[in-house]
Structure 1
């Protein structure tokens, strides 16, 4: 197993010439956990198109609004 982090790792991971999602997971697991036509099983334009609605609220402005308005208990798990 290899772990990578940071912006360069993300660029590497999302390079569609290096990795494909379609067929990467056994179908029985795929259908049980993710369902048919999930974003995690699509590649290239189909992946980007399906993912776009999920990314719309991921702007700095939307995240800042969430941080300012959501109860702290939803955002940070308090140590006990």
Structure 2
């Protein structure tokens, strides 16, 4: 059995993806990106989890959650 300490080499970041314009609305995808590295800092795994869309329409912004997790809408709106 190989023992490693992945917990120290596990990075999670929430980012805004490339915006999409559809029928006069701008959709900003919000995703959580996770990267797992081994002790040599080589990437051994990564994944992207969709969190929400921030939608701009007629000068207003609102958030649509894509999962059951509780989200801080104000924090996501500030990212745009």
What is the TM-score normalised by the length of structure 2? 0.21
More strand by share: 2
What is the TM-score normalised by the length of structure 1? 0.21
The structure, 1 or 2, with the larger RCO (C-alpha pairs under 8 Å, 6+ apart) is 2
